[in-house]
């Protein structure tokens, strides 16, 4: 019998076929086998994991690690340290860095920065606003393309004017070119003209309160958000590209997306932890002000979102980890239009979900799907990533489902040093995180080294 490099003994293992009690053997950075008791091989190192649950490592295709250009907020090393502590083994960044990633050369420059600094495996999602660069970006290994149908009122970051696509014809031409690559087009949906009109009404009377700004995108039954998604789904239907809709939170848009899926359209859906644990609760928005992002989902959304997560309408949880320093948020107490838009989340996401799992809101198999396997499948990384099965990379996170903890500012590893959930008690904690069989987080401490991460190129569809 082979000798393994590592044996994880006695965990409840969340596999594609369900949860099983097994020993997991790792050799050469890959999962070599799942065994029962006396059948297990010997190993250079054994981790006793009785009472723990072994999940596939998180695949987060929606992170803002702020490098290059905004490293006072976060950088690749600090961001991937934080990811490792949160059970994530793969991350992919977004193009709103400086310079913005709209060309092949800029994409390659970002990838080189990740190679130097990342503790976990990685990729990046460039912007396809430059049509002539799209084919080359796909060939260079881009994971997905990211479009912002939004720019900020009163600020030029993080939703930069040079990345905003508000013209439906321009968006149509971009989608036509992206369709040729077979790579998903990730879209932050927004009706920019309408939100500008509503924002101007508030500014005209001098209302810059965080309460008013939070209500804007949910006002008039969410038409700002819903009208954009309706167009995106119709455009996808006629062009056939893979549409990945981000930040989904409203009942009407969920109806549209559910209908598109019923027609077998190539549409996948992402929501974020703040939609499920923060922006669904008006009391939290009142209490936290700018630290609760800058939006409210609207009334009666929480049950709808959890139902949609369980029934498969929502495919993916993206952390949307988006750190800013306190001083960039504090202005929001008086002028939310001028405050930085975004919150850190990658360290807190899995513990928040483990807490809800303990409350019966989600199963282990469904958590593994939205946290790991479905994002890996959606973006061409499966089966190398996203599953505890023979032959896959040994990307694993061991969690203690019964450990109680309090999320605290002082324990956050992000450069920004705060969390919207400071003081929240949760049941469930990350114990160990391994990337290709190597510990990057162990017993509550980051042990991974910068440069351990590898650039993951997606498997492209035939003919693309």
Mean pLDDT of the 73-95 span:
98
Is 425 exposed, middle or buried (CB count within 10 Å of its CB: 0-12, 13-18, 19+)? exposed
| DSSP class per residue in 395-406 | -EEEEEEEEEEE
Q: What average pLDDT does the segment 322-326 reach?
A: 97
Per-domain residue ranges for the chain? 4-54+391-403+424-446, 58-378
Q: How confident is the model at residue 438, as a pLDDT?
A: 98
* Per-residue pLDDT tens over the stretch 266-313: 999 999 999 999 999 999 999 999 999 889 999 999 999 999 999 999
Q: Output the six-digit token pair for 283.
A: 């009391």
What is d(CA 281, CA 216) in angstroms, rounded to the nearest whole number? 15
Q: How far apart are CA 54 and CA 14, in angstroms?
A: 6
**Same topology between domain 4-54+391-403+424-446 and domain 58-378:** no
**CA pair distance 184, 61, nearest whole angstrom:** 11
Long-range contacts, stretch 35-44, CB < 8 angstroms, 24+ apart: 40/7, 40/9, 41/1, 41/2, 41/3, 41/4, 41/7, 42/1, 42/3, 42/4, 42/7, 43/3, 43/4, 43/5, 43/6, 43/7, 44/3, 44/4, 44/5, 44/6
User: d(Cα 416, Cα 79) in Å, to the nearest integer?
Assistant: 10
Give one DSSP letter per residue of 422-454, joined into a string: TT-EEEEEEEEEEETTEEEEETTEE---TT---
Residue with tokens 């936290």: 288
Q: What are the pLDDT digits (tens) for 217-245?
A: 899 999 999 999 999 999 999 999 999 99
The token pair at 391 is 């032959």
Rounded Cα gap, residues 44 and 204, in angstroms:
69
Digit-coded pLDDT (tens) for 105-133? 999 999 999 999 999 999 999 999 999 99
Confidence of residue 461 (pLDDT cuts 50, 70, 90): low
Check pLDDT > 80 for residue 1: no
Q: Is 464 a residue whose pLDDT tops 60?
A: no
SS3 content of the chain, % helix, strand, coil (to 5): 35, 25, 40
Tell me: cis bond preceding 433? Omega within 30 of 0 counts: no
Tell me the percentage of the chain whose pLDDT exceeds 70.
99
Residue 462 banded pLDDT, cuts 50, 70, 90: low
Angle between helices 76-85 and 104-117 in degrees, nearest 10:
60
Closest CA to 153 of 203, 224, 223: 203
Q: How far is it, in rounded angstroms, from Cα 446 to Cα 464?
A: 39
Pick 4-54+391-403+424-446's CATH classification: 2.30.40.10, 3.50.50.60, 3.40.30.10, 2.30.31.70. Answer: 2.30.40.10
- % of the chain exceeding 90 in pLDDT: 94
Lowest mean pLDDT segment, chosen from 34-43, 143-152, 340-349:
34-43
Task: Give the DSSP letter of residue 72.
Answer: T
Opening angle at CA 216, ends 330 and 351, nearest 5: 60
So what's the pLDDT on residue 97? 97
**Is residue 80 within 8 Å of 118, Cβ to Cβ?**
yes
Region for 410 from its dihedrals, namely left if φ exceeds 0, alpha if ψ lies in -120 to 50, beta otherwise: alpha
Q: Is 256's pLDDT higher than 90?
A: yes
> 463 pLDDT exceeds 70?
no
CATH: 3.20.20.140, 3.20.20.70, 3.40.50.300, 3.90.1170.50. Which one for 58-378?
3.20.20.140
Q: What's the rounded Cα separation, in Å, for the pair 96 and 433? A: 28
Q: What is the CA radius of gyration of the chain?
A: 21
The mean predicted confidence, pLDDT, of the chain is 96
* Per-residue pLDDT at 430: 98
CB atoms within 10 A of CB 220: 12
pLDDT band at 453 (very low <50, low <70, confident <90, very high): very high
Q: What is the DSSP code (8-state) at residue 457?
A: P
């Amino acid at each position: 019998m082979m000798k393994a490099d590592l044996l994880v003994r006695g965990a409840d293992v969340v596999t594609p076929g369900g949860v099983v009690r097994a020993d997991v053997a790792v050799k050469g950075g890959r999962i070599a086998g799942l065994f029962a008791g006396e059948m297990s091989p010997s190993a250079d190192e054994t981790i006793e994991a009785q009472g723990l649950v072994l999940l596939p490592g998180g695949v987060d295709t929606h992170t803002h690690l702020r490098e290059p250009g905004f490293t006072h907020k976060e950088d690749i090393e600090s961001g991937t340290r934080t990811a490792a502590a949160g059970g994530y083994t793969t991350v992919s960044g977004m193009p709103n860095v400086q310079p913005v990633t709209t060309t092949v050369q800029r994409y390659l420059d970002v990838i080189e920065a990740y190679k130097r600094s990342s503790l976990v495996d990685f990729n990046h999602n460039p912007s396809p606003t430059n049509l002539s660069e799209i084919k080359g970006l796909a060939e260079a290994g881009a994971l997905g393309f990211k479009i912002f149908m939004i720019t900020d009122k009163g600020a030029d970051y993080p939703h930069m004017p040079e990345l905003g696509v508000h013209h439906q014809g321009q968006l149509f031409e971009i989608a036509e070119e992206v369709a040729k690559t077979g790579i998903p087009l990730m879209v932050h949906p927004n009706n920019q003209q309408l939100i500008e009109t509503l924002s101007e009404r508030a500014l005209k009377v001098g209302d810059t309160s965080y309460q008013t700004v939070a209500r804007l995108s949910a006002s008039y039954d969410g038409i700002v958000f819903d009208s954009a998604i309706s167009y995106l789904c119709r455009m996808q239907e006629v062009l056939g590209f893979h549409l990945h809709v981000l930040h989904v939170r409203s009942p009407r848009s969920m109806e549209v997306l559910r209908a598109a899926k019923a027609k077998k359209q190539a549409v996948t859906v992402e929501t974020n932890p703040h939609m499920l644990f923060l922006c669904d609760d008006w009391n939290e928005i009142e209490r936290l002000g700018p630290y609760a992002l800058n939006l409210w989902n609207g009334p009666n959304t929480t049950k709808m979102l959890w139902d949609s997560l369980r029934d498969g309408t929502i495919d993916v949880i993206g952390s949307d980890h988006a750190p800013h320093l306190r001083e960039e948020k504090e202005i929001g107490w008086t002028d939310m239009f001028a405050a930085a838009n975004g919150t850190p989340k990658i360290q807190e996401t899995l513990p928040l979900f483990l807490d809800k799992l303990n409350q019966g809101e989600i199963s282990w198999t469904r958590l593994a799907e939205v946290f790991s396997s479905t994002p890996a499948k959606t973006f061409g990384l499966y089966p190398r990533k996203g599953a505890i099965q023979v032959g896959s990379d040994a990307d694993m996170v061991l969690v203690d489902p019964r450990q109680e903890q309090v999320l605290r500012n002082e324990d956050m590893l992000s450069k920004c040093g705060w969390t919207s959930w400071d003081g929240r008690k949760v049941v469930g904690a990350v114990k160990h995180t391994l990337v290709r069989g190597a510990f990057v987080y162990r017993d509550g401490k980051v042990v991974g080294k910068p440069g351990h991460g590898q650039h993951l190129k997606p498997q492209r569809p035939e003919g693309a």
